[in-house]
């Protein structure tokens, strides 16, 4: 499953729970039962994504959601050497587990990400 799919599913959960609103647009989704038209949930982004868009999270705001997404490994073990990741030590495994990280896959790993909605950010100063 891609990050886009993971985040969209989380957005739908948040909208159903009344935590976020809608964009006012409709989205057509193909399911096993056929085609469905849904209201598009409000966008949510991580701090890094909001920063790239020219916004910053308002001081004191806490995330509205957290979920596990694919993240690119920026260091540590060598992604070109799969044996190295297979030989992960117990300490590393425990540390990664505490940080929400899971096993790497071709230079990526599953890790926790924290999401904020538009009402929790302001334009960068």
- Calculate mean pLDDT across residues 53-69: 96
Q: How far apart are CA 107 and CA 85, in angstroms?
A: 10
pLDDT at 47 over 90: yes
Mean pLDDT computed over 97-111: 69
Q: Quick check: 84 pLDDT over 50?
A: no
End-to-end CA distance of the chain: 36
User: What pLDDT, on a 0 to 100 scale, did the predictor assign at position 72?
Assistant: 86
Domain boundaries, the chain: 3-120
Number of Cβ within 10 Å of residue 104's Cβ equals 20
Tell me the mean pLDDT in the region 3-26: 94
Higher pLDDT, 89 or 91: 91
Q: Is 60 exceeded by the pLDDT of residue 93?
A: no
Higher pLDDT, 7 or 92: 7
Backbone angles phi, psi at 15, to 5 degrees: -65, -45
């Amino acid at each position: 499953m891609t990050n886009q799919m993971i985040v969209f599913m989380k957005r739908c959960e948040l909208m159903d729970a009344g935590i976020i609103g809608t964009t006012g647009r409709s989205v057509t989704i193909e399911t096993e039962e056929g085609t469905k038209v849904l209201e598009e949930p409000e966008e949510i982004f991580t701090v890094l994504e909001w920063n790239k868009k020219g916004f910053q999270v308002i001081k004191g705001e806490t995330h509205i959601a957290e979920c596990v997404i694919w993240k690119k490994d920026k260091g540590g073990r060598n992604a070109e050497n799969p044996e190295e990741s297979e030989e992960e030590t117990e300490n590393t495994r425990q540390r990664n587990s505490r940080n929400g990280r899971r096993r790497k896959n071709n230079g990526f790993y599953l890790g926790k990400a924290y999401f904020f909605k538009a009402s929790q950010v302001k334009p960068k100063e």
